[in-house]
Structure 1
């Protein structure tokens, strides 16, 4: 024991500055080896314990020197690898020589394994806080050394009495405070604390868990002071991360005559990301509450918070966009009101998304905070007035909606160049479905704005309804024109008979699709009743009820117009069909004169299999009965037109019998509901009477 004691004294007396000057661990080990026991024992003089430096303090200094050498070796290795990455990954482990040196000194100084674990953790925490080595030490390295310390504590029989020296407690308190303070700014690859993102939670939890664990060791003599420091650190860090998040993108909107939409889009991307982060805001609020910090209050309600930054940039953007939109919110071609500068539509989309994002942020904050907290802090929240800032640009946002609806409806006809095959089971073209869905989506997006100024909503209700009704009628007329230009997609000269095309059926269905899917849903999509009721309540006048009647009449007018267009299409189809039917009717009358069996079989089969069956398979049910009625009328006209005169009565009797079967067939196919008989057809009655008169006449 005396031998070890003398060796320990000798090692303590070894000047630490020699170790500090050692360039490598090898040199450090050499210094140790050079110190033999006989060299200085004779010159040692007895001294009281108080005359010797603290052995723990010496071990602390030595550990710092050894670990710094490890970090410098890591730096040199990085340098030799010619890497440009400023972050140096040191895994926190010591090489064999470093471990050997520290072990020898621990044994020599009679330092406990627990103290050694604490000292190494403190050195790593201290170096993490330094400018020279902050990029070397990751949060994971700190966690690993903390686990080693906790394992040593767990092995103690009395974990409440860890028996740390005064020096250890004092140094721990100093370094712990320094360690807490170094989180005021991002270190190494630590995740930012703002924006609140799900992928960053684990990084923040790791930091907080480390700090909480160190607190629970109860080594600090004044924990209340340390907790105050921690609160201040968290607030400072949040403020710094907020400032950084807004400084990454220079949101500059200075030139009102040529506003750069790219800069606006970058800002919008940032706001969208912030709005999306609201889904995790409650988790952040709970996480920071464990340190007596309100995440929401610091980030959104305090001066120079994200709320203030967002307010400043948004108001600047809206101010500059007003003049910009006035320039582009006009038709490019005066002859039509549907071709707008694309900047109007793009700007309108940007404004809409920005408005909805701000709305989502505010709603999430209000829902997360308790009612009392919200009421207390809301008056400091400048962002809450966002809807007032949008007031000057709201009319342009609405014009963008109108322009996009017109554009979508016009392109629906232009883009409809699909080729359909008879075997394809397709009812509608992709272009019509896309345009309809887009228009419905636009209506839903407008309603999602839920703008508090009821006058704006009232104007939008009228404008959007009028635009959609107008464009649906325009679409029907353009589709009919397209069919006429393409001769209903059939070649009468080649086939000498009318061939019902898949394209014909789909284009007619497209008109019906717009009518049923879009027009009929407008009262619900645009909330006719609620908007009108609010206008009545706001102005205390029932006169606005007439607006609802007018809008519904507008929709009915558009539907009737589209039905008339479809009716006109079917009349043209029936006319073309009649041209191909002429030869078949003449042949029928010839066969009837010759008293052939079932002379009308060819006509019946042609009408049923070649015409009506294809129309039945291709058209919507509501349209099939209409086209069947149109064809029935044309068939009757053809039969009447080519009916021979001066034939014997029995000829007309046979024609009447054949016609009665044809009339019964048409009565069935022309029903809108199969179980409900259709209304009588006057043309059939007239032709039947004509045939009856001829059959009864003795003089033809």
Structure 2
């Protein structure tokens, strides 16, 4: 194409020919810009690029610019008309199949800015003095331009799902269309606005269909395939649920063109709400038999070993349920009450909790299996080795198990399932499972202590290394008690669930359930306390050798009538035993470990008490022992300001000493 030859043939025309000249300018501009686009296509082909999008920046080369400028100057076409014609040509070519991939939204915006700048420079912006041809062509191309957004063009972002990163793309399109309306070039804007509403609805429907066609979401009976398909669907629903955080922004954005984004996307026929309903119901129907197969222990004798498919399926269904709940809550909160009440009956997804009813018991079994698995691992993993320099009060296994169990309880409560009967069953099942597993944890710990599985060679292990490990065991058990068992009534909302059952069935008999559950918790706590006591007995036993030497030396010093012979024992117990044990224990355990050490000290004192000594020897021992007894009375108090109950072992030993002091006959 030789534009310079074309220009040389141009001759001036009379003013009466001006409308036809604008039409010729339109044709010439279309030829010039097509030439630019073909050059861009050729450049891409020479670069051997596989990208289907051709990135034209909207500018003209020198020759193209010269041709259009000469035509405008020669025939006295205004700069404003030239800007309008160039914008219209770009809009027109954007709508064509041949060139839609060449022209980005940014190029359209740039040329619109040029037109707006020319309008701004006019003295009378209300009278732009466009010809009838320009107005007619604008109306035709504007209608075509609006309609071309019925499907995605080039790199335009989809309008569904609502995503924060897509807002700017949609705003750009809407701003361009709004600005073109504001020019008031169209003679019949109402028709264009109706076309725009129809375009938006069609585009949203197309983007919704595209979103659900990316994955077929076919749920088959084969385990892996089915579960993987469910996971893919869940990823999509999670993304949709997350998008609800900006649904209000989308609603406001589309409302500027008299379109309810929420209504079109979720309430109208074949909307996202209908698609979600169809796929979710299909999924739940197919998964009922699948879950029933795996909702049983793999090994009958060990109730904590479940097929992993049960736990995985339960987690997937929980997330799906919570996502649907989040979507519905967000839509209800975004719409005004009247709009929600008007449209809710068309929203099939609102019945989602009824669809989950057949699978809810299996979902609950997944929670139970996961709790059992977590507690089982806590027992298996509590052989962690701790070094002297480590300042650790709890093992990672106990903290992980406790926190996971609490998280599972919180997740179950977040379901807030409307059927109170299912919540009642869950209350009993989860409480019973956690109490049962805490008792199992305590029994396994006691068994490992009895079999000395924690330390296979005590002779090579220093007493404080051993006691440090045992103190961590105590803290772990206390952690389970305080963080998990004691918090169950609040975590699982005992009172509200029981009250609701009483209200539903008009029977106070359910109050006994609460009493039974609290008794279960107390039983588990008592069994764990017994294990703590057993552990402290082991801790005290570790100091037997050193205590024996100290006590034998003490009795020897008493025979020699040394001053304050019990002082070394007292100081050793206080500084070398209890103080170091306190460093590894929580404060609640101080009195308990002190009581265990007291029992062991009394055993050693009785065992090594010399016989056949003169009465004054036993008098001195009794006096020294009274001071030791007073010390133990203080450190064994559960509350420092409240005296503890009398220790029977101390009373018995004191009576023995008194008898020896009164008689020389042993």
Structure 1 unmatched runs, 5+: 1-34
Aligned residues between the structures: 666
> For 1:551-588, what per-residue CA distance to the aligned partner results, in whole angstroms no more than 9, with x for missing partners?
11111111111111111222233334335533332332
C-alpha spacing 1:85/1:496, structure 2 compared with 1 (3 Å): closer
Distance in 2 between residues matched to 1:634 and 1:80, nearest whole Å: 93
> For 1:316-344, what per-residue CA distance to the aligned partner results, in whole angstroms no more than 9, with x for missing partners?
11011111111111111111111100000
Distance in 1 between residues matched to 2:542 and 2:557, nearest whole Å: 24
Distance in 2 between residues matched to 1:292 and 1:281, nearest whole Å: 16
Correspondence list, 1:643-658, <5 A = 643-658=609-624
C-alpha spacing 1:38/1:227, structure 2 compared with 1 (3 Å): closer
Distance in 1 between residues matched to 2:464 and 2:261, nearest whole Å: 74
Distance in 2 between residues matched to 1:524 and 1:41, nearest whole Å: 87
- Native 8 Å contact 1:117 1:148 kept in 2: yes
- Native 8 Å contact 1:259 1:324 kept in 2: no
Distance in 2 between residues matched to 1:210 and 1:624, nearest whole Å: 74
C-alpha spacing 1:586/1:256, structure 2 compared with 1 (3 Å): same
User: In terms of mean alpha carbon deviation, does 250-259 or 400-409 score higher?
Assistant: 250-259
C-alpha spacing 1:438/1:283, structure 2 compared with 1 (3 Å): same
C-alpha spacing 1:259/1:326, structure 2 compared with 1 (3 Å): farther
Distance in 1 between residues matched to 2:331 and 2:168, nearest whole Å: 22
> For 1:402-427, what per-residue CA distance to the aligned partner results, in whole angstroms no more than 9, with x for missing partners?
00000011111222343223443322
- Native 8 Å contact 1:489 1:504 kept in 2: no
Q: CA deviation at 1:680?
A: 1.7
Does 2:20 align with 1:68? no
Name the Cα RMSD after superposition: 2.6
C-alpha spacing 1:257/1:410, structure 2 compared with 1 (3 Å): closer
C-alpha spacing 1:36/1:276, structure 2 compared with 1 (3 Å): closer
- Native 8 Å contact 2:445 2:531 kept in 1: no
After TM superposition, the score normalised by the length of structure 1 is 0.91
- Native 8 Å contact 1:461 1:528 kept in 2: yes
> For 1:244-276, what per-residue CA distance to the aligned partner results, in whole angstroms no more than 9, with x for missing partners?
000011111133666521111110000000001
Q: CA deviation at 1:689?
A: 2.2
- Native 8 Å contact 1:257 1:323 kept in 2: no
- Native 8 Å contact 1:253 1:259 kept in 2: yes
Distance in 2 between residues matched to 1:277 and 1:576, nearest whole Å: 60
- Native 8 Å contact 1:499 1:610 kept in 2: no
C-alpha spacing 1:247/1:655, structure 2 compared with 1 (3 Å): same
Distance in 2 between residues matched to 1:272 and 1:175, nearest whole Å: 40
Q: CA deviation at 1:485?
A: 4.0
SS at match of 1:338: strand
Look at both structures and tell me which one has the larger radius of gyration over its CA atoms: 1
- Native 8 Å contact 1:651 1:695 kept in 2: yes
After TM superposition, the score normalised by the length of structure 2 is 0.96
> For 1:638-686, what per-residue CA distance to the aligned partner results, in whole angstroms no more than 9, with x for missing partners?
2112211111112112212221221122112111122222222122122
- Native 8 Å contact 1:300 1:306 kept in 2: yes
SS at match of 2:60: coil
Distance in 1 between residues matched to 2:489 and 2:364, nearest whole Å: 18
Which of 217, 238, 244 aligns to 2:183? It is 217
> For 1:68-127, what per-residue CA distance to the aligned partner results, in whole angstroms no more than 9, with x for missing partners?
000111111111111111111111011111101110011112110000000000000000
Match of 1:302 in 2: 268
- Native 8 Å contact 1:256 1:321 kept in 2: no
- Native 8 Å contact 1:663 1:684 kept in 2: yes
Match of 1:691 in 2: 657
Match of 2:303 in 1: 337
SS at match of 1:195: coil
SS at match of 2:575: helix
- Native 8 Å contact 1:301 1:381 kept in 2: yes
User: In terms of mean alpha carbon deviation, does 673-682 or 480-489 score higher?
Assistant: 480-489
Q: CA deviation at 1:400?
A: 0.2
- Native 8 Å contact 2:470 2:535 kept in 1: no
SS at match of 1:93: coil
C-alpha spacing 1:114/1:650, structure 2 compared with 1 (3 Å): same
- Native 8 Å contact 2:7 2:71 kept in 1: no
User: In terms of mean alpha carbon deviation, does 618-627 or 140-149 score higher?
Assistant: 618-627
Does 2:166 align with 1:200? yes
C-alpha spacing 1:651/1:499, structure 2 compared with 1 (3 Å): farther
Q: CA deviation at 1:207?
A: 0.2
Q: CA deviation at 1:617?
A: 1.4
- Native 8 Å contact 2:52 2:101 kept in 1: yes
C-alpha spacing 1:212/1:646, structure 2 compared with 1 (3 Å): same
- Native 8 Å contact 1:258 1:324 kept in 2: no
Which of 589, 595, 598 aligns to 2:561? It is 595
Distance in 1 between residues matched to 2:67 and 2:162, nearest whole Å: 45
Q: CA deviation at 1:50?
A: 6.8
Q: CA deviation at 1:697?
A: 2.3
Distance in 1 between residues matched to 2:13 and 2:590, nearest whole Å: 116
SS at match of 1:337: strand
- Native 8 Å contact 1:71 1:133 kept in 2: yes
User: In terms of mean alpha carbon deviation, does 411-420 or 442-451 score higher?
Assistant: 411-420
C-alpha spacing 1:312/1:39, structure 2 compared with 1 (3 Å): closer
C-alpha spacing 1:598/1:331, structure 2 compared with 1 (3 Å): same
C-alpha spacing 1:75/1:689, structure 2 compared with 1 (3 Å): same
- Native 8 Å contact 2:12 2:75 kept in 1: no
User: In terms of mean alpha carbon deviation, does 250-259 or 408-417 score higher?
Assistant: 250-259
SS at match of 1:639: helix
Which of 205, 217, 220 aligns to 1:254? It is 220
- Native 8 Å contact 2:537 2:596 kept in 1: yes
- Native 8 Å contact 1:653 1:695 kept in 2: yes
